[in-house]
Structure 1
Amino acid sequence: MPHYRIKPADLKAHYFDVTLSIDKPDANGQTVWLPVWIPGSYLIREFARNIIEISASSKGKPVTLTKLDKHGWQAEPIKGKLEINYRIYAWDLSVRGAYLDETRGFFNGTSTFLAVKGQEHQPCTVELLAPAGEQWHVATSLPLDGARAGEFGLYKAADYDELIDHPVEMGHFSDIRFKACGVPHEVVIAGRHRTDMKRLKRDLKKICEYQIKLFGEPAPFDRYVFMSMVTGDGYGGLEHRASTALMVSRDDLPLAHETAVKAGYRQYLGLCSHEYFHTWNVKRIKPAAYAPYDLYSENYTRLLWAFEGITSYYDDLTLVRTGLITEQEYFDLLAQTLTGVERGAGRKRQNLEEASLDAWVKYYRQDENSPNVIVSYYTKGALAALCLDLTIRLRSKGKKSLDDVMRALWQRFGKDFYSNQGGQGVGEAEWEQIASEVAGFDLQAFFEQALRTTQDLPVASLLAQFGVQTQLRVTAGGADKGGWKDIAAPGNSIGARVAGEAGGVKLTHVLDGGAAQQAGLAAGDVLIALNGLRVSAGNLDTTLGSYAAGSAVEIHAFRRDELHVRQLTIQTAGQDTWGLRAAQDADTAAVAARKAWLES
């Protein structure tokens, strides 16, 4: 079987050294290759560019290694064992690649482990070596093969697909352990922090036990690891079959003296919930296009709305169902999702199936015009999941829900996905058919509108039947992300998203039909004055509000190093901000339906 040995070789230069030993190489010349993308992050990333040295040998003698393309090499034909030695540059502080410095090491297998062509389905072993002179520890969900938990040594994987699905954290970190439904879980926090680890353990245990029971015990893994890297402003996560890698802002973690669930901690718990839910929905219940993954090139599917959008629906729903946030806090989060979708003109140009298919070329390659031309399959997908759930609940008179659909998908596709026989992915039409079958009525009309048109989803009318009052209002300013507010009069707008910039205000995105676009301003322009008076991110809303809508003002702005003068007509801010709250006059049936939805 292929054997890998990986060592943090030079902490200051950020180098991992890897040795791949192949006992029975291809007699015609063994080919090895590295993936060009990592499952869960839909962008070609060209990991092989970080291999800075590579060589081969057999029985102590050099073997010629020929590069075939951007990520593959072929050794000359030999008899006997083949060893390939290579050095990886690891300086990607994200959840997708590899990172190494004097304080920690982290890597995904897609960044570090060359696949042996023709032996991808063979079992393999991995020896994790400690850096010289360092007393580091290890956190990974890789199965043990002689190593002791938390220590360097020998690990194993059933095949290459499993090998690259267990990231490794090493260094000095805080960790806690708990059991959820009898299954061991580990929480690792790397980086400087003052986290209330007992509270974090208590809260994550609730999330894990709820989701395990939602799909049905036992859990689909023997143990699970949450790996979080703390930075000043980090955020992000990537799912794996028995672990997740996360980035978190230091200020978002709970402190010992805090009792409330602050906004940042709520966001972090939602992220943990999201990635944990992926253990079922995408790691085992998969689109047919991902069964198996093709790691040589893009894998296209129209179902990302279901795998990312539905997961985005359940992440915050889990928090309210477990009592970690209140009903109103959940409504505020839902209002922020509605607001994010409403503020993008792209929702009128791209439907959810198109958004899913175009993830590789549009969602993961966003630019200054993206809000005008794309919609997020995360956020609008979550709203489609909400509408689907409420529709099933209403039409089945509370007997069925999206929970039942997910459990049916789990039983048919996910439960035995990693069995000896191997699982099958869900076909694009099949997902909708199963939903209709479980609901007990035809959902085709719903899916046609929600997935294959750009019509707005019937969120308000559905929520009303669950005793939830909705509000669509003007924004209260640049910091307003959504939520219920009573605003006496609409403000003004320049039709652009902005950010603070030294000496002015930078336009990050110019929105279709807005005042900025009509005045000839573009993304990247820096506004410095309005009618001869300096503007900044702090005073822009107030300055705009001092003019009547329709007023023409003179704008001074820099485009690169060139000063431009434009005439801009101030517009009234549009209604693009949502608020939600429990309706005070809701009837008994609506209140009961809301309770069943949010507490089930």
Structure 2
Amino acid sequence: MTLRKFLFNYQSSNPRQKFRQVEMWRHSLLFAAMLMILSAGAVQAESLKARITVLSVAPARVRVEGERSVATRVWSFRNVYAGVMNLGERIEKLTLADSNGLDVPVRRLAPGEYQAASAATRFVYEMKLDAPLWETEAAHVSWLTNERGFLMLGDLLPLAVNEKEIAKMSATLHFVLPEKWTIAASTKAGSDGQFEIADMETAIFFVGQNLREKRQRVGSMEFAFVTAGEWAFSDNEASDLAVSLLKDHTSTFGNISKNRAMLILAPFPRPTGADRWSAETRGETVTLLIGKSPSKTAALAQLSFPLAHELFHLWVPNGLALDGNYDWFYEGFTLYQALRSAVRLNLLTFQDYLNAVGRAFDAYKSAQGRDELSLIEASERRWTVAPTLIYNKGMLAAFLYDMHLRLKTKGKRSLDDVYRELFRLSNTFQARRDGNLAALAALNNAGEMHEVTRRYIENASAIDLSSAIAPFGLRVETGGVRTRIAVGENLSGAQRDLLRKFGYNEKLDGTSIRRKPVRK
């Protein structure tokens, strides 16, 4: 899952994102008929063996050679991922052979798409892995620099013959790295130095000089923290922060823990601002790239929010048997849950919490076409509308839902209960379900919340923040460029109890005290 900009910075620095669906549709139309003809037959689990050699780091180039278990004439490589375009253009010198080692002629049809003259299993090619020019892309695709880099199998190796019918493609891998380079991954290498990967699509390898790794148990979870470069904070401080967040998230989900997780914290491959970050949670690996701040306090504050967000993705959506475009929930609602985690752990004050909601509202108001589609419809068109609209409007919907639910149930229920219900429902499914239907069912099962979900999620309605937050004892202060939310006057007992759950202190108006809130 991806969150690609600093919190509520709604202006994307990657204008090429909007062409993602157009590119995908073009390739789907071009190769659908060919796949039906050339790959017809019984579907079987597919695996491959590969040797990945770093040929050089300047220029960045690797050689990939191996053999797949299923012979095919159709050879596809990922060309678009998370808004990153033209990945297929990195491939050079592709040669194929059959299982007997006889050469098989191959021709290029489009970037990342090839057709062999006959069924082939063996392959050799080179791939250019220059670091992305756009900082927002650095957490999502493979790249190498003189010091370090990422090898992500999803864009590095051939795709399964039939991606839609084969859930997972396994791989056996061997890496040849430059001298003094090491490798880190959530899966440990065997005694022979090879990696056995159950799901190739989710495998990420962090490679480079002077990698530092710390492994520990967080409850029943095996947790690994890997980093490189110099930071204003110590490795232990970053690892301790991650552990605190993992424990908080585990509690949110009713003590449902993950078996294993790895956090990779790395600098950007190119110089960037101290407030920038790019992240993705793929499988059981969290990749987080952040800019460097000279201040430890500022650096830890910068780290806390994206880390809370991405670690949450280990559960949602990665731990759910759900499909479909329900980004409004697993991105927008996760933004809100990350904010709540930071407040619970005393990383943010009550006023910080309100300020974050205000910034989300400003970003939402600045988004083009913000009220033309419902959140569900916008999620289906995530890469053709303003991508961050889903994040910010989704977060606002989560905030309003949580506050309404808490007020209505007198603090007995919260959004945390929705996540527990969602996991309960997911465990009862016999097959993967649509994420939109499952999320709405969990939200509505928490109480009589249909009016809230219809207004803010299912319908294309505008958010009038002033009137929406008035029932909670909050108000929008007028004047100034930015929206500022403050506590209203003459709070009722119910409103005061509600705001105390978020660390509100009536004597100081919640503006200058770090009062740790209770979980519910």
Q: Please, what TM-score do these two structures have when normalized by structure 2?
A: 0.77
Which deviations, in whole Å up to 9, do the C-alpha atoms of 1:222-251 show, x marking residues without a partner? 232333334532411112121111220111
Distance 1:470 1:122 in 2: 49
Could you tell me how far apart the structure 1 residues matched to 2:437 and 2:70 are? 42
Separation (CA, whole Å) in 2 of partners of 1:137 and 1:585: 61
Instruction: Name 2:334's counterpart in structure 1.
Output: 311
Q: Is the 8 A contact 2:106 2:114 kept in 1?
A: yes
Q: Matched residues in 2 for 1:111 and 1:416: separation?
A: 33
Q: Choose from 186, 203, 207 the match for 2:224.
A: 186
- 67, 92, 95: which one pairs with 1:55? 95
- On the 8 A contact 1:203/1:324 being kept in 2, the answer is no
Work out whether 1:361 is the aligned partner of 2:398: no
User: Is 1:104 aligned to residue 148 of structure 2?
Assistant: yes
Pair member with larger Rg: 1
Paired position in structure 1 for 2:131: 92
| Greater helix content | 2
Partner of 2:344: 321
**1: CA distance between counterparts of 2:74 and 2:225?**
38
Residue 532 of structure 1: aligned partner: none
Once superposed, what is the RMSD of the aligned Cα atoms? 2.9
Residue 471 (structure 1) aligned to one of 473, 477, 486: 477
Q: Where do 5+ consecutive residues of structure 2 fail to align?
A: 1-46, 133-137, 503-516
What is the identity, as a one-letter code, of the residue corresponding to 2:78?
A: P
CA deviations on 1:568-600 (whole Å, 9 max, x unpaired) are xxxxxxxxx211244574344322222335532
| Greater relative CO, 1 or 2 (CA 8 Å, sep 6+) | 2
Structure 1 residues 318 and 6: CA distance shift in structure 2, 3 A = same
Structure 1: 5+ residue runs without aligned partners?
A: 256-260, 290-300, 365-374, 476-576
Alpha-carbon contact 2:407-2:494 (below 8 Å) kept: no
1:227 counterpart SS class: strand
8 Å Cα contact 2:473-2:487 kept in structure 1: yes
SS in 1 for 2:434: coil
Q: Work out whether 1:243 is the aligned partner of 2:282.
A: no
Q: How does 1:520-535 map to 2 (within 5 A)?
A: none
Aligned to 1:529: none
Contact 1:55/1:85, CA 8 A, preserved across alignment: yes
Structure 1 residue 458: deviation in Å?
5.2
Number of the residue aligned with 2:180: 135
Q: CA separation of 1:394/1:186 partners in 2, compared to 1, >3 Å: closer, same or farther?
A: same
Does the 8 Å contact 1:2/1:116 carry over to 2? Answer: no
What is the deviation of 1:194?
Answer: 4.1
Q: What is the identity, as a one-letter code, of the residue corresponding to 2:80? A: W
Which moves more between the two structures, 181-190 or 166-175?
A: 181-190
Q: Does 1:70 align with 2:111?
A: yes
Cα offset, 1:192, TM superposition: 4.4
Q: Answer yes or no: is the 8 Å Cα contact 1:227–1:243 preserved in 2.
A: no
Pair 1:34-2:77 in alignment: yes
> What SS is found at the alignment partner of 1:146?
coil
The Cα offsets for residues 149-202 of structure 1, whole Å up to 9 and x where unpaired, read as: xxxx311222xxx21212111012334344322423222233443432222222
Alignment deviations for residues 258-297 of structure 1 (CA, whole Å, 9 cap, x no partner): xxx43x53232111111111112222336532xxxxxxxx
Aligned residue for 1:474, secondary structure, equals: coil
User: Which whole-Å deviations, capped at 9, do the CAs of 1:523-581 have from their partners, x for residues lacking one?
Assistant: xxxxxxxxxxxxxxxxxxxxxxxxxxxxxxxxxxxxxxxxxxxxxxxxxxxxxx21124
Aligned to 1:505: none
Aligned twin of 1:19: 65
Shift of 1:90: 0.5
CA distance in 2, matches of 1:115, 1:348: 38
Tell me the residue number matched to 2:443.
Answer: 435
Q: TM-score, normalised by structure 1?
A: 0.68
Residue number in structure 1 paired with 2:19: none
- Tell me what 1:510 maps to: none
> What does residue 35 of structure 2 align with?
none
Shift of 1:348: 4.3
What is the rounded CA distance, in whole Å, between the counterparts of 2:446 and 2:464 in structure 1? 22
The residue number in structure 2 matching 1:449 is: 455
Q: How far does the alpha carbon of each residue in 1:122-150 deviate from its partner, in whole angstroms, 9 at most, with x for none?
A: 66333242324x11121222x335159xx
Alignment coverage as a number of residue pairs: 446
Identity within the alignment, %: 18
In the alignment, the residues of structure 1 paired with residue 476 and residue 168 of structure 2 have an alpha-carbon distance, to the nearest angstrom, of: 55
Q: Call closer, same or farther: CA 1:383–1:144 in 2, change over 3 Å.
A: same
- When structure 1 is superposed on structure 2, of 2-11 and 329-338 the one drifting more is 329-338
